[in-house]
Amino acid sequence: MKTILKFALTAVCYFIFSLPAVAQELSVATVEKMDQLLAKYGDDTPGASVLVSRAGEIIYERYVGMADLEHGVPVTGTSIFEAGSVSKQFTAAGILLLVQKGKVDLDAEIQQYLPEVPVYERPITVRHLFNHTSGLKDWGSLAGLGGWSRGTRVYTNDIALQYIIRQPDLNYLPGDEYLYSNSNYTLMTILLERVSGQSLTAFTAEHFFKPIGMEQTSWRTDYRDVVAGRAIGYGLMVGSGGASASGEANAAYRMNMPFENTYGHAALLTTVRDLNRWNESWYQPSADQALRILREQQGVLTSGDTIAYAAGVRIAEHNGRKVVNHSGATAGYRAWLAYYPEDELSIVFLSNDANAQITAIGEGLADVLLAPQREVGSAAAAVTSATSVTPEQTIAPPPPDESLLKQLPGEYLSTAVEGKWTVACHNGGLTIQVHPHSRLYSMQPIAVDQFSATGLGRLQIIKEADGSIKGFYVTIDRARNVWFEKSGL
């Protein structure tokens, strides 16, 4: 049986002997348009590493900004970045190899490989994990509701697993919806390691990194490890740079590193050249076409609707062309990886700036090359407007029930996230202290029995038959209906 290993070796030889000078076939005007998309990066900002290839030939390669602001180290072609969720496709590809070998069944219930996962109303299959259609609540969102948001403790896959299996219910019935959740790929990582008998590090090195020539690629399984050439992650934070002469708070870059040991859903350490090798390898003449078809097989909901998500990649259309892509974001790192099969075009964009507008820049680069009739000003405008907000008319919510406000103060406990919230009433709204760090949130009413706060989601109060408060459900982006019960009931 042919596998990715066979064509990977061909890809190594191809790249060793065909690394041309940058932008040999691009016009000066085209290069200038592409450079314009990177104009924000300089000697006093974090940086970006960009590589574009067509039919195996590098046509554009740029390294801008700084890899390390503290020591004045610029970004170079060998600077290593974290790829965020771009990492997921490596975990997915590993399991697909196991599927080909008959060791994993995509349509098997996950308890066959992960018996500790609870049995829910409808079975979760391995395929559901691939497509983010399992309904599993995101472990990072759950941890935040419990007072331990990511970055406040050293998370491991084992700790993440405990959050996942502690949930009495799902976001929705498996297969009914698509909702992105890192829990899916954490379970896939554990599944791969159990079935293969290897760590993800050893498995991917053997089957992907070494055969394809990804010599600078590894996994962050211990955040304390020294990684030569690693760019430091940064975030632009308002108020961290003192105040201006007018008294307004300035923004300044601060380190933003992923101090955790979870991996598989993210945590790939790599370079643009290595990711380009990976992108190209799937479309070499000797590539295993059956494996590529599996990789690009989009999920189908129980309704029959097809979603964009496949095996760690999204299958979409941009400017009328098929594109296989994924973005990534972990701490201060951002990533964008895309391949346009019809044009044999690979685009890799890595940055150590949490404020980088990766999708807008990545698609902007594609626009310059694939839609020359479109002015780069349009692409650049997309970059600058990606975070703009259009004012909308809002309707004032009905005031909360006064009897609820009187009963609400107190402590609420959640066994699902091992969390405790202290609720108090304040000016018609609520203040919430999320322990153990006692971070204070202000929640405003959005209905007679509902409140919401940025970063804390929506709270739905549940009453007993006699009208007393039993507790409330909290819903945040990737975790719905997490139960908190009033203490002392």
Give the per-residue pLDDT at 404: 85
What CATH number did the domain enclosing 450 receive? 2.40.128.50
Q: Are residues 247 and 375 in the same domain?
A: yes
CA 28 to CA 32: how far, in whole Å? Answer: 6
Among 136, 284, 119, 263, which residue's Cα sits nearest to residue 203? 263
pLDDT tops 60 at residue 424: yes
Q: Is residue 208 part of a domain?
A: yes
In this structure, of 74-88, 127-141, 243-257, 348-362, the range with the lowest mean pLDDT score is: 243-257
Which of 385, 418, 453 is the endpoint of a domain?
385
* Residue 184 identity (one-letter amino acid): N
Given 350, 385, 420, the domain boundary residue is 385
Of the candidate ranges 117-121, 296-300, 316-320, 485-489, the one whose mean pLDDT is the lowest: 485-489
Report whether pLDDT(467) > 70.
Answer: yes
Backbone dihedral region for residue 372 (phi beyond 0: left; psi -120 to 50: alpha; all else: beta): alpha
Residue 183 lies in a domain: no
Maximal C-alpha separation, the chain: 78
Write out pLDDT tens, residues 150-199: 988 999 999 999 999 999 999 999 999 999 999 999 999 999 999 999 99
Res 489: pLDDT: 60
Q: Is the residue at 151 inside a domain?
A: no
| Tokens read off for 306 | 């097809």
Which residue did the predictor score with more confidence, 430 or 65?
A: 65
Tokens 């980088």 identify what position? Answer: 356
The three-class DSSP label of residue 181 is coil
| Confidence at residue 240, expressed as pLDDT on a 0 to 100 scale | 53
Q: What is the mean pLDDT of residues 75-84?
A: 97
Whether residue 270 sits in one domain with residue 219? yes
Confidence of residue 319 (pLDDT cuts 50, 70, 90): confident
Contact 265, 85 (CB under 8 A): yes
Report the range of poorest mean pLDDT among 66-70, 219-223, 346-350, 440-444.
440-444
Side-chain half-sphere CA neighbours of 365 within 13 A: 29
Q: 112: Cβ–Cβ under 8 A, 6 or more apart, which residues?
A: 105
Residues 376 and 419 in one domain: no
Residue 45 neighbours by CB under 8 Å, 6+ apart: 65, 66, 69, 253, 353
Q: Tell me, yes or no, whether 206 and 298 share the same domain.
A: yes
Mean pLDDT of the chain, nearest integer: 89
Residue 426's pLDDT band, with cuts at 50, 70 and 90, is confident
Question: Which among 71, 17, 9, 35 has a CA at the least distance from the CA of 286?
Answer: 9
Decide if pLDDT at 122 tops 60: yes
Domain co-membership, 338 together with 461:
no
Residue 399's pLDDT is 75
Q: Are 206 and 177 in contact (CB under 8 A)?
A: no
CA distance 471 to 408: 9
Do 308 and 374 belong to one domain? yes
Cα angle at 62 between 57 and 368, to 5 degrees? 70
The reply to whether 295 and 211 lie within a common domain is yes
**String of b and e for 170-203 (b: at least 16 CB within 10 Å)?**
bbeebbebbbebbbbbbbbbbbbbebbebebbeb
Distance CA 31, CA 52 (A): 11
Tokens standing for 331?
Answer: 């701490």
Mean pLDDT of 459-465: 94
Number of domains in the chain: 2
Are the C-beta atoms of 292 and 282 separated by less than 8 Å?
A: yes
Residues 6+ apart with CB under 8 A from 240: 250, 251, 252, 254
Specify whether the CB–CB gap between 423 and 413 falls below 8 A: no
Task: Among 15-19, 47-51, 184-188, 287-291, name the one with the lowest average pLDDT.
Answer: 15-19
pLDDT digits 0-9 by tens, 368-423: 999 754 444 445 555 554 444 455 556 677 777 788 889 999 999 999 999 999 99
Domain membership flag for residue 466: yes
What tokens does 4 get? 């990715």
Q: Are residues 334 and 258 in the same domain?
A: yes
CA distance 5 to 213: 11
Rg (CA), the chain: 24
Cβ contacts of 252 within 8 Å, gap of 6 or more: 236, 237, 240, 241, 242
Residues 6+ apart with CB under 8 A from 370: 318, 319, 321, 340, 343, 345
* Domain final residue pick, 331, 355, 385: 385
In terms of pLDDT, which residue wins out, 18 or 465?
465
For residue 282, being part of any structural domain is answered with: yes
Q: Are 368 and 415 within one domain?
A: no
Mean pLDDT of 460-474: 94
- In this prediction, residue 238 carries a pLDDT of 74
User: Does the residue 215 lie in any domain?
Assistant: yes
Supply the CATH number for residue 351's domain.
Answer: 3.40.710.10
Residue 72 lies in a domain: yes
Inform me whether the pLDDT recorded for 455 exceeds 90. no
The lowest-confidence range among 11-20, 66-75, 292-301, 392-401 is 11-20
Angstrom distance (rounded) from CA 347 to CA 187: 29
**What are the beta bridge partners of residue 336?**
327, 349
Residue 166 lies in a domain: no
| Same-domain status, 380 and 456 | no
Check whether residue 286 and residue 326 sit in a common domain.
yes
Give the mean model confidence (pLDDT) for residues 58-62: 97
Q: How confident is the model at residue 243 (pLDDT cuts 50, 70, 90)?
A: very low
98-114 per-position pLDDT tens digit: 999 999 999 999 999 99
Residues 442 and 377 grouped into a single domain? no
pLDDT on residue 304 = 98
Higher pLDDT, 263 or 237: 263
Q: Which domain does 322 fall in, by range?
A: 4-90+197-385
